[in-house]
Amino acid sequence: MSFKINDYTKSREMFERAEKVIPSGVYGHLGPAEGCFIPVSAFPLFGDRAQGSYFWDVDGNKFIDYMCAYGPNVLGYNDPDVDAAALEQAKKCNCTTSPSYKAVEFAELLVDTVNCADWAFFAKNGNDVTTAAIMTARAHTHRKKIIFINGFYHGISPWTQKVDYPGVLEEDVANNIYIDWNDIPALERVIAENEGEIAAFISTPYLHGNFFDNQLPADGYWQKVRELCTKNGIVLIVDDVRAGFRLDIAGSDHFYGFEADLICFCKALANGWNVSCLCGKEWLKGAVSGLSYTGSYWMSAIPFAAAIANINKMKAIDCPALLKEKSVKLLDGLKATAANNGFDLVVSGEPALFYLRIANDDSMMIHQDWIAEMVKRGIFLAGHHNHFMNAAVSDEDIKHTLDVADEAFRVTKKMHPEAF
């Protein structure tokens, strides 16, 4: 079987128009500006519509989407129950002078759902709530320094970036301390070296950075981190923006057997409707209440209604278990298909947020070429980022993905005879 190769004529025409009026045409992670579409010619640049596990680009090409808009799509695009709740709320109000009572209902649901939550603070993006978490920790402790894990991503504010990035100043990151993942001795050392000065430790529940194999926590790692933070008055922040609700409806800290002091959610919170939240312990409520930190759309009611429906549906279908089941089926098939074609496909991270890497060469060019061949045939993967399973992916989708993967492996092998 030979699969159709996508044509992107309209996408390219639209991109030429975009470059005239939008910086970089498509800036950030959704477009080619960051150099992650290799080659750019293999990727669609503008979408037209989406439904379930699929999206269609402006050229009419259909994709099984394993990026899920980089995470928000957890039940499937345009889930009927979530969208019905949003549209019903739209008939009443959204952005109003006095916030909708939906804010209260949503916060109550989160406190009832998230293991470590005594309250919920709402915003729009993941960066909004990771920043709120850092500000809350500093307000509570009256300390400046923050411990990060090397390879982290916590958003786009200057404090989350590197000093050599455009627009980032030395003073923006002067109070950042960096250690390696799973390195308890390093954590103990920097706490001792900065005694009484550290406001917070922030990390994702496992290391799911870009361009490297994802790493799970070692046995007892989080329990030891929790012990050290408690002993030294350090606020423990879990950035669950990416993994939240995909591993455990109660939060990824609950999944790994510990309790965060603050936990940040966004992507899967409302199945694509834009809302984020910071949840935390009662003893931090005063600190977060005192922040001068708000936004015009942070109390918009439509995303609250969508999120309530989304969380209730995720509970009803046991979404984390369903995502794991589908992911294991896909990943077992991909590994077998790769091996049959002579490829060493490394799978890392948790199954519901799997990271892929072809290890036949160190340059990752073989991997990038295979990803490109998949995308050109209608399977949307990324060469640099972890992927996301969603509940709408069917057995037929998985079978089709494996069939395309087989052809893509064969084509890629011919492109790199020196590696086989």
pLDDT at 419: 87
Per-residue pLDDT averaged across 161-171, rounded? 93
Spatial CA neighbour of 357 closest among 345, 366, 371: 345
Q: Where are the domains of the chain?
A: 9-76+319-419, 80-316
Distance CA 126, CA 7 (A): 34
Matching residue, tokens 């504010």: 157
Summarised one tens digit per residue, pLDDT across range 12-68 is 999 999 999 999 999 988 888 888 899 999 999 999 999 999 999 999 999 999 999
Task: Indicate the DSSP class of residue 233.
Answer: T
Q: What is the pTM of this model?
A: 0.97
Q: Which of the following CATH numbers is that of domain 80-316: 3.40.640.10, 3.40.50.880, 3.30.565.10, 2.70.150.10? A: 3.40.640.10
Of the CA atoms within 13 Å of residue 34, those in its CB half-sphere come to 13
> What stretches of 131-246 adopt beta strand conformation (E)?
145-149, 176-179, 198-203, 235-239
What are the pLDDT digits (tens) for 24-37?
Answer: 999 988 888 888 89
Q: In whole angstroms, give the CA distance from residue 141 to residue 414.
A: 59
| Rounded Cα–Cα distance for residues 280 and 263 (Å) | 6
Which CATH number does the domain 9-76+319-419 belong to among 3.90.1150.10, 3.40.50.1100, 3.40.50.2300, 3.40.50.970? 3.90.1150.10
Burial grade of 281 (CB within 10 A; 0-12, 13-18, 19 or more):
middle
Confidence of residue 78 (pLDDT cuts 50, 70, 90): very high
Percent helix, strand, coil in the chain (nearest 5)?
45, 15, 40
pLDDT of res. 180: 98
In this prediction, residue 97 carries a pLDDT of 96
As separate numbers, helices (DSSP H) first and strands (DSSP E) second, the chain gives 12, 13
Task: Specify the pLDDT at position 192.
Answer: 98
Label residue 200 by pLDDT band (50, 70, 90). Answer: very high
pLDDT digits (tens, 9 = 90+) for 234-248: 999 999 999 999 999
Average pLDDT score over residue span 105-128: 98
pLDDT digits (tens, 9 = 90+) for 375-397: 999 999 999 999 999 999 999 99
Q: What value does the mean pLDDT of the chain take?
A: 97
- Statement: residue 420 has pLDDT above 90: no
pLDDT at 363 over 80: yes
